[in-house]
Every structure is written in C-alpha cells, then in structure tokens.
Amino acid sequence: MVSVSRRSLLALGAALPVLGHLDWAVAAPALSDKVRLNYNESPYGPSGAAREAMQRGIAQAGRYPYPDMYALAALFAQQQGIKEEQVAVFAGSMAALRYAVLAFTSPTRSLVMATPSYEVPRQAAESRKVAVHEVDLDTQHAHDVPAMLAADPQAGMFYLCNPNNPTGTLTPTDAIRHALANKPQGSVLVVDEAYIDFCDAPSCLSWVKDHDDLLVLRTFSKIYGMAGARLGLAIGHPALLERLAVFGGDNVPAGSSLLGARASLEDAKLVPGRKVLNARLRDETLAWLKGRGFTCTASQSNCFMIDVKQPAEQVIERLAAQGVLVGRVWKNWPQWVRVTVGNPQEMTRFREVFTAQVVNA
C-alpha cells in the first residue's frame, strides 16, 4: 500500500462538486425560549476547558491552523493506539462522509446503506447519479447486514451508522465484522461512529490497523458539544485518506476549533460524565413514554424515535407551536418522530408539551 504523509494530504485539496442542499437543514429561529431537540446537538455546549482554549485560538486566527491540526491528530492517535497518519482532520465529519461517497462510489459502483439512517450519503451519491440501495433495518432496528451485502455484488461503499441516526439503536459488533469480511472485493466499509461515546458498545476504530478497506468517522459535534465548531475525524489506512483528500484535503477547521477539541480530549471526566447524564435522561423519558402506551426505539444514543400513532409531521408542527422543536420524518417511517435528549429542564418541558399535544389530544 502507498504511504502518505499528513502534509501531502493537504496538498491534494481540490474543489468539492456541488452535492445539493440538505432539505432538512432549515435553521430554527434564534429564540431563547425554544427547546431544541431536533438536531442531535448537545444541550451543554463545549466544556469549560474547551471554551477557554477556543478563546485563546482567536489570537491565532491570522495563521493557518495546520500545526494545531497535526497536534490534534497526534493526540487522538496516541489515545487510540493507532498511527498519526491513520487520522485525518476535517471541518466536520459530514464533509469526510461526503468525500467518502465521492471517492468510493461511481456510476458502476453503488452505495448501500440502511433506511432510516443519516441521509447525507444518499444525497451525495444522488448528486453524482450513483445508484443507492437503501435496505430496511431489521426487526431489532439494527442494520440488516446480510440484506445489505446481497443488495449489489458490485457495490463500491457500504455505509453503517452505529449507533444509528435517527433510531439510536446499535448493530452488533459481530455483524459489522461480518460486513467487513464478506463485502464485495474492492469496496469500502464506512462506519460512522458519531454517537459511539454515548453507549457501551466497542468501537471498531482499532480495526483500521488490520484492514485497508475500512474507514471510521468520528465527530466533536455530539457528546463534546461542538456542533457549531465543525470538526470531525476520518480514521483509516493512509491510502484511503489520500482518496478523500483529493476532494477536500484543505478542508480543515479553524484553529479555535482545533484547540477546543484538544482540550476536550484531554479532559478525562468529560465523556463519562455526559454519557451518564444523557443515559439517565434518555432512559427516564423512554420509560415515561412507554408507560403511556408509546412504542420507542431501544436507543443507546442521544436521540430516539417514537411511534406517535398518527402522521408525524402534524405532531412536529403542534409541538413546535408550543416552542418544542423535534423531528424530522423519514419517508418509510411516517408515524415516527425523532427526539434529541436535552438537558433536564428541556426534557421536562418536552413531557409537558407532549402530554398536552399528543397524549391528551
């Protein structure tokens, strides 16, 4: 395999083709009284240490952030027990995911993914007129790996989000191993671990040491509370990262974001503390909903879905009229609503409004 340095990745930067708009990414009103449970953001924002580091980064805004990018990649690699050249930094994992679709699919090599799941891969593929095979989740709301593998013997990329967005459900590690071992030759498995820190499931990140056809994505947008800072990582063999860099090797975040991310990784208490709090609020809310007769997904993430037993769009509109923003709707689950886990006050308000607008409506 070809070896590539981090700096050579940057030199490969090129313009990204237009991928089409995100039809669900309509900005919510900037009003302080809104309960925002619609975008899977953290209600807590960056940690205190991250905020201080980001403030210091303002003074460095006149310089390119590459040294801080290398330092972040080195720290993450050291913590994960992998090599620095197996880590690439992007302005959000969404960018890395788009580039992966552009790099690993073509008019003759399709994209295979689950439904419902994160829509960005499908949108990126469709913008290039690449065939997309969407496979229903199984009865446990996990990825149906055998059905995905059977979807196209010439597939170029398999996308697996674990825990899955929007359901928050897990796909067993053995199933992911099966996908990696049995996918078509020449294809790439992309595992999106944006929500992995919310659950106890093992990451497959270390597998990149032995597999040059696996790409793992991580983000600082979720448990680290840095969605607006736009910072994500792609982890894989340097040759795979080089293929991404062709489409956006110069797409790196601001120095403030990089410093905030480093401070977050260095805070040993941040992830465990937020994980416990999220799990408590999520499980309390799921128990409350089930006690009122609603079916919910068995989420292990910071979001879950509810079968509201009626057109979901109508429920979203009624909750929004009361200042509680949830959603969105997936076409093959028209009566299910996705809800992000907020802070204690936000989840209390959600229950109050849901009672009035759905339970007692």
CA-nearest of 357, 353, 338 to 164 is 338
User: Residue holding tokens 């997936």?
Assistant: 330
Strands 295-296 and 111-115 come out as unpaired
Residue 174, Cβ neighbours under 10 Å: how many? Answer: 9
| Candidates 3.40.50.1000, 3.40.640.10, 3.30.1360.30, 3.40.50.920; CATH matching 48-266 | 3.40.640.10
Within this chain, domains 48-266 and 270-359 share the same CATH topology: no
Residues 172/142, Cβ–Cβ less than 8 Å = yes
Q: Which residues contact 283 (CB under 8 A, 6 or more apart)?
A: none
* pLDDT tens, the chain, 361 aa long: 333 444 444 333 333 444 444 433 333 334 458 999 999 999 999 999 999 999 999 999 999 999 999 999 999 999 999 999 999 999 999 999 999 999 999 999 999 999 999 999 999 999 999 999 999 999 999 999 999 999 999 999 999 999 999 999 999 999 999 999 999 999 999 999 999 999 999 999 999 999 999 999 999 999 999 999 999 999 999 999 999 999 987 788 999 999 999 999 999 999 999 999 999 999 999 999 999 999 999 999 999 999 999 999 999 999 999 999 998 899 999 999 999 999 999 999 999 999 999 999 8
Q: What six digits make up the tokens of 47?
A: 């940690």
Domain map (residue ranges) of the chain: 48-266, 270-359
CATH architecture of the domain with residue range 270-359: Alpha-Beta Complex (3.90)
